Amino acid sequence: MSVASESGIETANDTASYAPTDLTVPTRGRDRAAYDQELVHAILDEAYVCHLGFVRDGAPVVLPTLYGRVGERLYVHGSTGSRPLRMAGDAPQEDPGLAVCLTVTHVDGLVLARSAFHHSINYRSVVIHGTAHQVTDPEEKRAALDALVDHVVPGRSADSRPANAKELAATAVLSLDLAAVSAKVRTGGPNDDPEDLGLPHWAGVVPLSKGHGPLIPSSDLTPGIDAPDYLIEL
């Protein structure tokens, strides 16, 4: 039994999940769809960029952009002159919002089957449908910008100069609530048809890895400033 709250989160057996909606039940691959809140948060928190989709003059536009998460709300930001941010409007009382789809994907492995047809990738993705709104409350805007910086490097917002009034005025922030949310996950090896198992082709998974190289200090870094612990622990 599950109990739906106003947030769209359902709780059952101590695990929370997003309530499936018409928008978040896929037409294909339903067995890979997941609505678990912890899984969704983990996928969102691990990526650096999302792909933000919106409609302009009836046609789709998909742009990569940074984002941050505070609880059940995501934030994206940009110049006040950028397209999606202008389109969302900025007068709260008249703000129609901007219909968006925000997608985050990790590619974890290449899946090689004996048959071309069953080639695949192992991946984890989250797709969020909703209406993005301009953040006009100064407190929320500051917290959102901190979240955007800390999303790139946890702990960094406290170790950099905060935005001043001019920078805040030049930056627009959009919020998107985590309500119509779904994850999709594929793991494991290839799913060859039984009659193909004897074919003389190698089959298996090439696991992909991510990491980072040595830090590159800015050429004008003040001598004596060492890399902070939160970077060494990355």
Q: Cβ–Cβ contacts within 10 Å for residue 17, how many? A: 20
The residue count for binding its own copies (CB under 8 A) is 96
* Binding span for its own copies by CB under 8 A among 2-10, 30-38, 123-131, 133-141: 123-131
Strands 9-12 and 15-18: what pairing? antiparallel
Using the minimum distance from each CB to its own copies, give the nearer residue, 94 or 233.
233
- Check residue 31 for interaction with its own copies (CB under 8 A): no
Binding string, residues 180-219; x marks residues near its own copies by CB under 8 A: ---------xx-x---xxxxxxxxxxxxxxxxxxxxxxxx
DSSP secondary structure, 75-107, as one string: EEEEETTSHHHHHT-S-GGG---EEEEEEEEEE
Tell which positions 3-22 bind its own copies, by CB under 8 A.
none
- Burial of 191-229, coded b for 16+ CB within 10 Å and e otherwise, reads ebeeeeeeeeeebebeeeeeeeeeeeeeeeeeeeeeeee
> Is residue 88 close enough to count as binding its own copies by CB under 8 A?
no
Q: Report if residue 167 touches its own copies, rule: CB under 8 A.
A: yes
Residue 104 Cβ, how far from its own copies at the closest point, in Å?
9
- Check residue 228 for interaction with its own copies (CB under 8 A): yes
Contact of 85 with 175, CB cutoff 8 Å: no
Instruction: Check: CB of residue 188 under 8 Å from CB of residue 149.
Output: no
Q: How far is the CB of 229 from its own copies (least distance, A)?
A: 11
Residue 221 contacts its own copies per CB under 8 A: yes
The correct pick among 6, 31, 139, 220 for binding its own copies (CB under 8 A) is 220
Q: Which is nearer to its own copies, 9 or 172 (CB)?
A: 172
> Which has the closest alpha carbon to 46: 159, 121, 145, 124?
124
Minimum Å gap between C-beta 103 and its own copies is 4
- How far is C-alpha 151 from the geometric centre of its chain's CA atoms? 10
